[in-house]
A and B are shown apart, each in its own frame.
Chain A
Amino acid sequence: MATLKDRIEEVRKAFEEAAPQAGDAKSVEELRTAFLGRKRGRIMLLFEELKSAPAEEKREAGRLVNELKVAVVDRLQALENGALMAVRPAREIDLTLPGRQRYVGRPHPLTLFQEEIERIFLSMGFAIEEGPEIETDYYNFEALNFPPHHPARDKWDTLFIKGDLLLRTHTSPVQVRVMERTKPPIRIICPGRVFRRETPDPTHLPMFLQVEGLVVDQGVTFANLKGTLEHFLRALFGEKVKVRFRPSYFPFTEPSAEVDIECLVCSGRDPDCRVCGGTGWKEILGSGMVDPQVLKNVNIDPEKYSGWAFGLGVDRTAMFAFGIPEMRYFYENDLRFLRQFGAK
């Protein structure tokens, strides 16, 4: 006589033969009754038989019956799901089709980049200030310690309107206006459009965006300028980026510093690098301690207060950060270019 173990094997085989035939919900239900039916189900009968099995067989056979039951239950569930799917006419829904999206417009890359810069300074307690783009000679030059007819003005080649009106060549006039109407502590950034009389080429345009910043308070030092700008550049270009401050000249700061970061393209390893010219460094911003004459011009006592300021071209920095070879791309407004940056 076959052992209980053999009979369990027999039932398993029978189920496996019958299962593939069950194509619709009805036959799956019949299969369930035949094997799991409470009274006559073949697996249920095995459980009955188990009760009277000899002790030495009971343990092993019990495990096998239980395993079989779990397998049958799972298989029946799967068959049932399949049967339900089969009810729907094939291919009415192709789930592999692309999802339906609502198109959301993309911000201009310069706006995106400028907002990134603003966010970093806002987190350091700076406020955002703006001012007119058509300025006077006084705010654009004289208050900033550019004497009339000084060759220093040549670097800020100017588009003139009439009388003493001109298109601002930097957003520094906003700094002057804020210092005129506010008592220190002052901690601002001034983003905006600026204009220069430039013949367009890959890295020069007659209009571009700038962000300048200014801090005026008691006890502000060049060390603060360094620390804050280093923090800013690391926040913008990554924690590990190397930053270098070197002496320079601007009429409105004393001492003045250009700030370079290491070339992200070649890290100083390519003597013919198109981005850094092989120096390994890329000039990113100009900065310095606010010239005492500038403070005097706005009635802030330079003996009591000191300050630092910086200025950065948004376009050129964005070119560097994104590896964009020509500045004019930003103003051609080719949507195939602009739309790439929404995902940035």
Chain B
Amino acid sequence: MNERSRLAPEPMPRRDFLGLSAMTSALVALLFAGIGMMRLPKAAVLPSPSRRFRVQLPESLADGEAYVPPGRAVAFYRRGDTVYAMSTICTHLGCVVRPTASGFDCPCHGSRFGPDGAVLKGPAPKALPWLQVRAIGRNAYVVDEGRTVPSGTVVQA
């Protein structure tokens, strides 16, 4: 066996090497198990009810008056011979806004929106999103809460 220089590093004893690899493999396993477990709570399929539904606008709905189907967070407007819809979920922190004469008021922190959904008063950071609407018959429409469209997108009544 060659004589080692005093300056050369000590060779690692076999026992230390085994211990070190056991330790490393345990840590790596723990890390991956952790990542795997973190994946579980992130739902792959959202259990929300279908966000698409049919709406029958009342015959008497006036021009520029909001119609909110019972139990839904969507407001419909008729303007001339066009129809459009927007979400009534406040863009601030998710309360349901109430239609007023001049647009919408949020009961939670006082945001106000115009009849086109634009922010009139904070703290809401952005306009109420418009939703995809399809006409399917006389005064009957299908709206999809899950699909937003650019503000100003209307359909022919």
Task: Say if A and B assemble together.
Answer: no
Measured CB to CB, the residues of B under 8 A from A are: none
